Amino acid sequence: MSPLLKLAALICFVVVAQAGLSFPFPGQLSIPNTFPQLSACISESSFFSCENTTTISNTCCSPTPGGLVLQTQFWDTFTGLEKKGQLLPKNSWTIHGLWPDNCDGSFEQYCDLSRQFDPTPSPAILPDGTVVPPYTGPGVDTFIKAFGRDDLLEFMNNYWVSQGSPNANFWGHEFSKHATCTSTFDVACYGPHYRKHQDVVDFFDAVVRAYHQYPTFNMLATAGITPSNTTTYTLSQLQNAIKAQTGSIPFFGCTTNGTILSEVWYFSHVHGTEQFGSYKTVDSTTKSSCGATGIRYLERTHTSEREVR
């Protein structure tokens, strides 16, 4: 390389590094960390969320008030965006989200409108009358790319698949509706060097980590419960299969008068943060919307799924 070219390459490298945007020289730049600053938590007493016996003073250390944490998943049979390549992962349920319920099962939503990234807010008006304005900026997938997390983005496109809307819209919805109400993702928890959207990427990592704890497809399959267009299952068959692995009964959701299995919610209390803490699974506080018998766990249309493992 001529000295002039070397200089040009160096300048380009420095400019790109400072902008922190794309990474033209793979391996030469390090990926920025997204974890919060939690050194103040070390001197706090130790407990599972919703089980504290005294008031939680530092809400960056434990999700509060949303200490009943739900990792939610879907069983969809199609996406509606197959033509755009939005397909479901074979032999796997998909991610819905990670929700902060209050310990009594009630919940808050859209708690910080300065972090509103949902193009189609639902609800568009909160119970107290607050209007949630639709987001029109770049998709949250661009935030993930800006942090150099192509690995996370790939996993999310494989396993966090939306039905009827682009995946990034769904991820923005989940962040703004739920993570803004989860205290351990508050901007203040990231300290004085907070980088814009660090909390968003940190939340997506936390969702993926929580999801890994609950491999629904495999847990059901170990009990002989697999998708079938000819068999039906009972609710207690589904519940017992999961309880055998997690120790607790999750919420199962069904559509079509309780006959078609479509979702599962795993409830837990968390020791420490949602990001890095330990999840203790507890029984659902919500009654199943499935019937007691005759539940169909449908096979997917083959053209709606793909192998991603």
Ligand X SMILES: *[C@@H]1O[C@H](CO)[C@@H](O)[C@H](O)[C@H]1NC(C)=O
Q: Which stretch binds ligand X (CB under 6 A): 133-141, 146-154, 286-294, 297-305?
A: 297-305
299 binds ligand X (CB under 6 A): yes
The residues near 90 (Cβ < 8 Å, ≥ 6 apart) are 305, 306, 307, 308, 309
| Cα gap 285→133, rounded to integer Å | 31
Q: Which stretch binds ligand X (CB under 6 A): 18-26, 50-58, 183-191, 233-241?
A: 50-58
Active site (annotated) includes residue 307: no
The residues near 284 (Cβ < 8 Å, ≥ 6 apart) are 248, 249, 250, 251, 265, 267
Give min distance, CB of 128 to ligand X, in A.
20
Query: Two tokens at 102?
Result: 């209050």
User: What dihedral do alpha carbons 4, 8, 13, 16 form, nearest 10°?
Assistant: 170
Q: Which is nearer to ligand X, 52 or 165 (CB)?
A: 52
229 binds ligand X (CB under 6 A): yes
Which residue of 54, 114, 136, 230 would you call a contact of ligand X, by CB under 6 A?
54
Which residue of 240, 257, 278, 293 would you call a contact of ligand X, by CB under 6 A?
257
Binding-site size, ligand X (CB under 6 A): 14
- Rounded to whole angstroms, what are the CA distances from 239 to 69, 71, 182? 19, 16, 28
- Residues in 69-98 that interact with ligand X by CB under 6 A: 77
52 binds ligand X (CB under 6 A): yes
Which residue of 2, 18, 43, 55 would you call a contact of ligand X, by CB under 6 A?
55
H/E element, 260: strand 260-271
Active site (annotated) includes residue 96: yes
Which residue of 256, 287, 307, 309 would you call a contact of ligand X, by CB under 6 A?
256
Q: If DSSP codes are grouped into helix, strand and coil, which group holds residue 42?
A: helix
89 phi, psi to nearest 5 deg: -80, 125
Show which residues are catalytic: 96, 174, 178
The site for ligand X (CB under 6 A) is made up of 52-56, 64, 77, 229, 256-257, 298-299, 301-302
